[in-house]
Amino acid sequence: MIAIDTNILVYAHREDSPFHQQAYGSIESLAESRSDWAIPWPCLHEFYGVVTHPRLFDPSTTVEQAIDQIEAWFESPSLQLIGESGRHWQTIRPLLKGSRITGPRVHDARIAAICRQHGVSELWTADRDFSAFPELITRNPCVD
């Protein structure tokens, strides 16, 4: 199963992104396929926060537009929304310790742990920080 990171969601949504076409097409192909694909809940929360932030985009995405976008993704019957399970600590602890994660990078460790818990085979992201977790295969669909 492929999971989508925040930055790819943002690129797919924001038509002013130089990566819009590639990201949009990548998500569209997943959404229209019969294969399961996933969005981690923290990535949806972060997507909403990023696109509606008035200091990041001028104009920023409105609340209504952001909610409409999220609900459009929800219409894909093969989408799986994934989050922490009861064994989350057992999964994230070795990632934190093994990669010596500190500060805000804990967010990436959280995403990596969620992906591992749910059998994600590949995370589509433009964030190179995920290289700290070699057990998680990453791919940037905007440059491949």
Q: What are the tens digits of pLDDT across the range 53-90?
A: 999 999 999 999 999 999 999 999 999 999 999 999 99
Domain ranges of the chain: 2-139
Closest CA to 26 of 16, 42, 13, 41: 13
Structure tokens at 59: 């104009």
- Kindly provide the b/e burial profile for residues 47-68, where b requires at least 16 CB atoms within 10 angstroms of the residue's own CB: bbebbbeeeeeeebbeeeebee
**pLDDT (0 to 100) of residue 136:** 92
Which parts of the chain sit beneath pLDDT 70?
144
**pLDDT (0 to 100) of residue 135:** 86
**pLDDT (0 to 100) of residue 45:** 97
> pTM for the complete prediction?
0.94
**pLDDT (0 to 100) of residue 144:** 63
**pLDDT (0 to 100) of residue 111:** 97
CATH superfamily for domain 2-139? 5'-nuclease (3.40.50.1010)
